[in-house]
Copies of this chain bind each other. A is one copy, B any other.
């Protein structure tokens, strides 16, 4: 019997992070997932993350409170309107107002604290540098800089007993490729949610960046986004 190595996986309950959790498991890691209650407008994300953790039978799942809404500055944590488009092709390259200041830096730092106490040397995050919203903290050079920092920041890194690695298995994949990989691993995408601005009944809006990228990704696999089942388009 092999003993699994622990890994920390950032899990939002969306399509990307759910796929990453499945990939980490398929690579043989014992997955300790962390989700953040950070002041997002829609707490159903955290319910979906909890359901995902149960469905995948993860070793552990914690929901950590860190109130980034206190600092303001983003449509995802305030009353600013989320931008809407008619198609994914309209999504620009400028950093949009859904950007939450320093969000991934804060999340990765907390994942690092969690990893250090678990003696885990592996952290997985579902950032993606192709079909994404243009956030600076999703780029490969940003992730490389965080990995350098992590190895200077921690007891294990300094003592040379462990080399921390930030895994970004989605970083060079299109949304269509991410979906194809998740489907191979048996991920049930009908239970994941990606929308920045869902309707009152929590149905995806189908017009924010996250919805449009996701819908197009399924279309490119010849599929309809299963989270839209029963909804009119």
Please report A residues at the B interface, Cβ cutoff 8 Å.
62, 64-68, 70-73, 95, 99-106, 108-110, 112-114, 116-117, 136-137, 139, 141-142, 145-146, 148-150, 152-155, 157-159
Is B71 a contact of A114 with CB atoms below 8 Å? yes
Is A113 a contact of B109 with CB atoms below 8 Å? no
Q: Name the contact of A145 in the complex, choosing from B66, B114, B145 (C-beta under 8 A).
A: B145
Is B113 a contact of A137 with CB atoms below 8 Å? no
**A160 to B8 Cα, complex, angstroms:** 33
Chain B: which residue is nearest A64 at the CB level? B70
Q: Name the contact of A142 in the complex, choosing from B62, B64, B149 (C-beta under 8 A).
A: B149
Chain B nearest Cβ from A153, distance in angstroms: 5
**A190 to B67 Cα, complex, angstroms:** 33
Is A158 a contact of B95 with CB atoms below 8 Å? yes
**A142 to B148 Cα, complex, angstroms:** 9
Given contacts A101-B113, A105-B112, list 8 more A-B pairs with CB under 8 A.
Answer: A65-B67, A66-B66, A73-B116, A105-B113, A136-B152, A136-B155, A137-B152, A145-B153
Chain B nearest Cβ from A80, distance in angstroms: 13
Given A101-B117, A106-B106, A116-B73 in contact, is the A152-B142 Cβ separation under 8 Å?
A: yes
**A145 to B109 Cα, complex, angstroms:** 13
Query: 3 smallest A-B Cβ distances: which pairs?
Result: A102-B113, A101-B116, A73-B117
**A104 to B158 Cα, complex, angstroms:** 15
**A68 to B146 Cα, complex, angstroms:** 19
